[in-house]
Amino acid sequence: AEAQLAQAQKMEAVGQLTGGIAHDFNNMLAVVVGGLDLARRKIAQRPAEAGVHLDGAMEGADRAAALTRRLLSFARAEPLLPAAIQPAKLVTGMDLLLDRTLGERIAVHVDVTRAQWPIWTDAHQLENAILNLAVNARDAMDGAGRLDIQVADETIAAGAPGDLAAGDYVRISVTDTGCGMSKAVLARAFEPFFTTKPVGKGTGLGLSQIFGFVRQSRGDVRVESEVGKGTTISLYLPRYHGGLSELGAVEPSKAAKAR
Ligand code: ADP
């Protein structure tokens, strides 16, 4: 029954999403049609005015095209190219990138001392996911604060709460000292296109993409957030049990010592 409820909620979210997009798209089409109609009426007597209406139509068409482009890139999720990787090493390797992304007024702390296990995933997409979480954290902190990234091995027991099957996982947690999320925002944060950011700044696709990627890797995402205090988002990715020889260039012992 719980699974059915979750499915029903998902369908409702998809319904709201497609309804919202159809509505936006219709508004843009109305601008195009209206502009063309006015231009047609003016074209014989006042060609200059017709031009203005044609420009308006063009703008509406451009916006509609931008919307469908965004939809397409969202639907065409990149294929996973998984390999055995050492998450501790991947995260410590993002040092410079994170410092540059977060700016001088946000202190970045990385702790990988409790991470030894390898995982089987797409390294590029995992980096993107972490970077997206860091950018969200930066936005939530309004430029100043502290960002903690922790990578740690974690065993989930049978019957533990949450969606994870019992077993070994690597948890990657990103914690910020930002504004936090209200219950209402938290309830919708993972919906595609849900954003509280101004137009042009947020796409509302970051968290939904991360969720899709982590679920594809048979993991899960957990969120703890308190308004005015901050947010922790944790990615759980299953431990890889294959032979260490498949790890290639990765040296497990180094990652633990790196910080
Ligand atoms: P976007 O960042 O483009 O808005 P996301 O899907 O990444 O899209 O996030 C959706 C919304 O969730 C954000 O607009 C914001 O309201 C909220 N959110 C995400 N991460 C955080 C965070 N670390 N702290 C506070 N709010 C957050």
Query: For 44-77, what is each residue's pLDDT tens digit?
Result: 899 999 999 999 999 889 888 877 777 766 666 6
Answer whether residue 212 shows pLDDT above 60: yes
Atom of ligand 1 nearest to the CA of 194: 10
Atom of ligand 1 nearest to the CA of 202: 3
Answer whether residue 96 shows pLDDT above 50: yes
Side-chain-side CA neighbours of 127 within 13 Å: the count stands at 16
- Confirm or reject: Cβ of 179 under 6 Å from ligand 1: yes
Three-state SS at 109: strand
Side-chain-side CA neighbours of 104 within 13 Å: the count stands at 0
Query: Residue 200 — left, alpha, or beta (φ > 0 → left; ψ -120 to 50 → alpha)?
Result: left
Answer whether residue 247 shows pLDDT above 70: no
Q: Residue 111: which H helix or E strand, with range?
A: strand 106-114
Residues 104-115 have a mean pLDDT of: 96
Copy the structure tokens of residue 227: 């308004």
Instruction: Tell me the β-bridge partners of 191.
Output: none
Answer whether residue 35 shows pLDDT above 60: yes
For residue 240, which of 117, 126, 153, 90 has the smallest C-alpha distance?
117
- Confirm or reject: Cβ of 178 under 6 Å from ligand 1: yes
- Confirm or reject: Cβ of 176 under 6 Å from ligand 1: yes
Taking CA atoms only, the protein residue closest to ligand 1 atom 13 is 195
Confidence (pLDDT) at 255:
37
Question: Which is more confidently placed, 203 or 213?
Answer: 213
What span, in angstroms and rounded, lies between the C-alpha atoms of 94 and 154?
22
Crossing angle of the two packed helices 123-141 and 206-216, in degrees rounded to 10: 150
Environment class of residue 247 by beta-carbon count within 10 Å: exposed (0-12), middle (13-18) or buried (19+)?
middle
- Confirm or reject: Cβ of 219 under 6 Å from ligand 1: no
Task: List % helix, strand, coil for the chain (3-state, nearest 5).
Answer: 50, 20, 30
Q: Mean pLDDT over all residues of the chain?
A: 85
- Confirm or reject: Cβ of 105 under 6 Å from ligand 1: no
Confidence (pLDDT) at 21:
74
Model ipTM? Answer: 0.99
What span, in angstroms and rounded, lies between the C-alpha atoms of 43 and 48?
8
Three-state SS at 258: coil
Those residues with Cβ within 8 angstroms of residue 18's Cβ, 6 or more apart along the chain or in another chain: none
Taking CA atoms only, the protein residue closest to ligand 1 atom 17 is 189
What span, in angstroms and rounded, lies between the C-alpha atoms of 88 and 115?
6
